[in-house]
Structures are given as C-alpha cells and as structure tokens.
Amino acid sequence: MSHMHDRRRVYARRAAVFGGFAGLLGTLVLSGPTAQAAPPTPPSAATARTQLAGLTVKAEGSSDGYSRDKFPHWITQSGSCNTREVVLKRDGTNVQTDSSCAATSGTWKSAYDGETWTAASDVDIDHVIPLSEAWKSGASGWTTAQRQALANDLTHSQLIAVTDNVNQAKGDKDPAKWLPPLASYHCMYARMWVSVKYTYKLTVDSAEKSALSGILNGC
C-alpha cells in the first residue's frame, strides 16, 4: 500500500512538472499551428446551437443590488496561487512565477484581438459571462457560494487571459452589444458564452439569443 502511495506521489510530482508541457502538446495536436494555451474547449457549434435552444429567453433583470463583492474572486486555488494567477499560467507561454505565485515573466497571446504581451500587467482575466450580466440573468437569486463558483470556474470556458483594454471595452456587454475584435474568434466566443450560460442555467434575452444564433449558424 505504501509502495503504491509512493509511486502516486512520484507520478503527481512528474505530472506537476510535465503537466504544462503535456497540455501544450495536446493543444498543438488538437488545433494545429495556431495553437496556444487556452481555457477548456467548449462544446462544438452544433452542441452550442442545441444548448442555446434550451435556454430560457427572458428580458434581463435589474442590476439593483449588484456588486462584484457578491461574486468573491479571486479565491485561492492551491498554495499561494489564486484563480487569476492560475489562469495567467494556463493561458500564457513560459510563464515564470515568484514565491507568492505572481507571474514575473511570460508571453500571453490574447485570443480576442491577436495581440501578444510580455507583461502580466497588460493582461486581464475576462469573465466570459460578465458578473453583472450573470446577476441580471439569474445569479441575483443564487447563494454567495454559487456566485463564487461562477467567478472562479476553471472547469468551463468562463475565464480567459486577454488584452486588458479589450476586456475593459467589453465591460458587461453581451454578444448583441460586443464581440471580440478578431472576427475569426467569434465562433469560439459564442460557443464559450452559450456553454457557460447553459451550465449555470442562466437566461438569455432575445437580442442576445439572436446574435448568438447568427454566429453559431455561420460556424
């Protein structure tokens, strides 16, 4: 038993060392020469169309009572690393961190606009479904724990490292009002958006649904 435990420990250490490289290799194999470190891949456009059809269409609710503090982030993920730091490491290339897990160097290619950055301060972690948008489409009735889960979700395509001023231009706009500057990313963005809304049973308004349908039908 203890022998197995030791082997597992060794494997876990190896996985920690090679995990980043293996992840990058997987991305290269899956998506060819344009590969980059990225969030979890959302379901296909065909699946996204089905998921979109299953979402409740409802006018956006009020932002009354909304506060980012009601979506606690960035929470500690492991050791001294919080969610932002984990995403910076995941979405960047050759990211080096200091003892407190802050990124000291690396390269980040922003999928939203195709720009490349070498300072973590030029990169924001975008909530694909903005927290205010989530509030107005159902999260106002959630528990704080549920809102925290959405704000720190590393399992679905909810968090992505992008150019900071592009993220700020997006604000809390839905796809009827804002899309990534890089048109070639619109399909992926729509798939990500629908996947997260579907996972969390959030509603869509009619303009948002129409915009998403248009994008997904062209994928």
The stretch 44-55 carries a mean pLDDT of 98
For residues 35-57, average pLDDT: 91
**What pLDDT, on a 0 to 100 scale, did the predictor assign at position 177?**
97
Band of the pLDDT at 34, cuts 50, 70, 90?
A: very low
- The model's confidence at residue 29, banded by pLDDT at 50, 70 and 90, is very low
Average pLDDT of the segment spanning 186-206: 98
Give the pair of three-digit tokens for residue 215: 């994008």
| Residue 200 confidence (pLDDT) | 98
Cα four-point dihedral sign 182, 194, 25, 94: positive
> What are the strands, taking DSSP E only, across 91-176?
92-97, 103-109, 116-117, 123-127, 159-163
Residue 73 to residues 83, 85, 101, 174, Cα–Cα distance (Å): 7, 12, 16, 21
Q: What's the confidence (pLDDT) of residue 38?
A: 85
Calculate mean pLDDT across residues 182-202: 98
Question: Is the pLDDT score of 125 beyond 50?
Answer: yes
Does the pLDDT value for residue 12 go beyond 70?
no
**Quick one: pLDDT at residue 111?**
96
Is the overall model pTM greater than 0.85, yes or no?
A: no
Give the tokens for residue 212: 């998403």
Q: pLDDT over 90 for what percent of the chain?
A: 83
State the pLDDT confidence band at 49, using cuts at 50, 70 and 90.
very high
What confidence score (pLDDT) does residue 13 get? 39
Q: Which residue has the tokens 């980059």?
A: 36
